[in-house]
Structure 1
């Protein structure tokens, strides 16, 4: 049987493949991946393994290891690279549905990708799998490990069933928000000044790492590149915006993406109302899932808040990792004098 392995850069060709996969989400598109390329996180690429009409697509960011200041001093003999999933979720996906055929295809895909990693001088690979699609079950070569739970709202249920899965406290807080006079507005996607101000204040409140302080250009790239697949929903008290969030939508999925809120008004439950409204809006548009994500570190307060929107079930989020070139990887780690840092991978990027 004819088979082919190749790296795809061109957005048109990339979208041709992704468009043939009914389960594909926005995270697998070139438009999404290239936002992070523009943010300086690596080169957006997609590896395609194809056998006739059957194929596996694997988007990732290719990062030059030698660009790290500490590694640059080692004077490596050749350029080396590692790969990672862009912020969010991803991993390989396929257009093949039948289980046995799918498993066989992924075995051959894994072999072909291992060979490609050797040719491309990729020494390490990190994958964040999609918690709803559960594609970690397909790509076992990277030894997927449970990371944490995430929550989604099942939009195929009726509105009363959706709200019936909320916690009692959550339902009360939504009623409180409405009683306090909070309103919902779908704002023009280019009017993000309130979102930016609230987002940065929220990061300050959470004492977030530097990574999450995305520059303004990142937000502008997000709304430009995802045009038609992104919605800006805001909560207002009178004329004041007190919570603002970008929701991404594609195929069956809607995702709670980048959010900011005014801490002085959290007692009015604006985020409860925001998520509830987004669920009803997304259901009315025919989507099946509103994915809220998980906590910052396991099943923390943020996770428990999201869990209040569905007390009945949770998704399992898996990550995978593999050292593709043990000799080169170990050489860098030993030369830098770095010890393993728990689950952090690759360790030289700690």
Structure 2
């Protein structure tokens, strides 16, 4: 922490950093802050596996490829910068402790935290933010990650087969990303990856144990390693193709609605504060999610009126990329060229 300054750097991708990258990060942070602390939350191996596979499917990986990834050796995934869905906590934590020191790496048991009625946000707020930082951070109990049912995962996989993230080796501009609010509401059985992966998890956690014994408290280790009832494979009755098509069409509409909502909420904020960094960032998020030519054209028109020419250029380019006739963009492109 620098004098009068607190930086929160958070993200699951931190677990993908290699030792040299962790060292480089430490050098950069220590040059600017008096104290640097690392906070990690560990959950039991099986629940991590279910969560990681869900997340990969939500990102657009096909179910078959995701399950193959779960079976792959960590060294196979390392060049892809994808962490194995079957975790190896010990080596990852060892690298962070080696760089930052054991006293500066705080490890918490996610399962015990949940049993105590907390989530990561509330736990971190209470235990790791100074009083000064707490004054400027809005504490929330709301979970941002919706748990998807097995039915929702199956439907999402079908949607991504219709609009895959990559097309002919290039990013697909029509890809429909995640849809937390929409798919999070679809009921059904809890998603599990299956009994075969439970056995893989058992091997992984046994391999992890000697290293974790040197890192975790006895209580945390016991909680992480307590036996949980087997769940077995969960069967999901296949939905008829017509129903899947209907769900896919509805979800694409919901996706468009969310993106437009984000765009116009950001545009309203910018009327009050033209330099609002969060609002400007949300205009780029909306650009990523919008994939209807008419919506992209109307957003580009607003951006031109507000003289945000660089963003207008991006919106016009994507509108043409997803099928807007070039002739329908001529006037806006002419205005853009006149002002750039």
| TM-score, with structure 2 as normaliser | 0.22
TM-score by length of 1: 0.21
User: Larger helix proportion, structure 1 or 2?
Assistant: 2
Q: Please tell me whether Structure 1 or Structure 2 has the larger radius of gyration of its CA atoms.
A: 2
**Which structure is richer in relative contact order (CA contacts within 8 A, separation 6 or more)?**
1
Larger proportion of strand: 1
